[in-house]
Amino acid sequence: MKFRSDPSGIRGSIAPLVTPFTGTGAVDHDSLRGLVRFQLEAGSHGISLGGSTGEPSAQSVQERIAGIRTVAEEIGDRVPFLPGTGSHTLGETLEITAAAKESGADAVLVITPYYARPTQEGLYQWYATVAREFPGLPVVAYNVPSRTAVDIAPDTVRRLFAEFDNFVGVKETTKDFEHFSRVLHACGRELLVWSGIELLCLPLLALGGSGFVSAAANLAPQAVARMYELWEAGDFEAARDIHYALHPLVDLLFVETNPAPAKWVLARQGRIASAHVRPPLVQPTEAGLARIRTLLAEGGDLTRQIGA
């Protein structure tokens, strides 16, 4: 919560954790605490839970709230905590956001409501409601049109940023790189913008982005954090070296639906007790596992930097 009063300092690699489950499918809070410790040891600049990588739509509201409380407690204000609190219903979004605020979250990531396909006015009203309800809590829009079937427009972001002091940024998970530029152009570079697309993390920094929320940080947290630090230090070639070295791990994440491949690797490394994913996701197929093993062999050096 100590970072809540100045969200402009929430920068760098914000690691979006998987949600570990036991072999029978319950949320595994012990493994979740271990993942937080792993990220802190690796030097991640912040932690998130409840984005797409965390399987939020497969969990109940109470499970999501319990996970947020576990992570907040384990972080203990050492780095910023930005949990995902959005849902497809406004009531659930407000309930989870309230719990995140009470737990000490520094900001919240609120996904564009999925399935309903709202207009831009509907999106404005949605985020305006959240911002008004929690005036002291920084709100970050989470734009992921590949999963929600709706894209929050730069002008809608500009409108929210201009009208609400606590609407501070957007996590952009779109492969339309022009969109990143148009959002920053519309709002000014005071807007905090993070990339959720792994191979656009480094390019976004050149536009003035704040950092990234990259699923690759689950497997190679030190490398992802170091890439940001090198860029900020002006060592652009070394940052590019890490960007390209991450390619096999990025491809690994999406051999089959994220986060099943990442969970398989984390379980293999002993970082989580089980690779279980909840329906409708399934464990990687044999063909998928063959590809995952190949990519892990290519990019595995980056996963071993912190005792893996």
pLDDT, tens digit, 9 for 90 and up, residues 105-150: 999 999 999 999 999 999 999 999 999 999 999 999 999 999 999 9
Q: Of these residues, 101, 124, 127, 142, which one is catalytic?
A: 142
Q: How far apart are CA 4 and CA 57, in angstroms?
A: 26
pLDDT tens figures, 210-265? 999 999 999 999 999 999 999 999 999 999 999 999 999 999 999 999 999 999 99
Residue entry with tokens 């947020």: 68
Q: How far apart are CA 55 and CA 296, in angstroms?
A: 23
Tokens representing 282 are: 């399934």
- At 304 the pLDDT is 81
Q: Nearest 10 degrees: CA dihedral of 90, 182, 171, 247?
A: 140
Query: How wide is the angle at C-alpha 128 spanned by C-alphas 123 and 129, nearest 5°?
Result: 100
- At 307 the pLDDT is 44
Q: Are 88 and 114 in contact (CB under 8 A)?
A: yes
Q: How far apart are CA 104 and CA 33, in angstroms?
A: 16
Q: Are 141 and 170 in contact (CB under 8 A)?
A: yes
Q: How far apart are CA 149 and CA 211, in angstroms?
A: 24
Tokens representing 190 are: 């005071």
Active site residue 175: no
Active site residue 171: yes
Average pLDDT over residues 63-89: 98
Q: Of these residues, 101, 124, 127, 171, which one is catalytic?
A: 171
Q: Are 142 and 111 in contact (CB under 8 A)?
A: yes
For the beta carbon of residue 4, count every other beta carbon within 10 angstroms: 18
Q: Which residues have a Cβ under 8 Å from the Cβ of 142 and sit 6 or more positions away? A: 51, 84, 86, 109, 110, 111, 112, 170, 171, 173, 196
Note the pTM of the prediction, 2 decimals: 0.96
Residue entry with tokens 């979004």: 93
> In one letter, which amino acid is 11?
R
- At 300 the pLDDT is 84
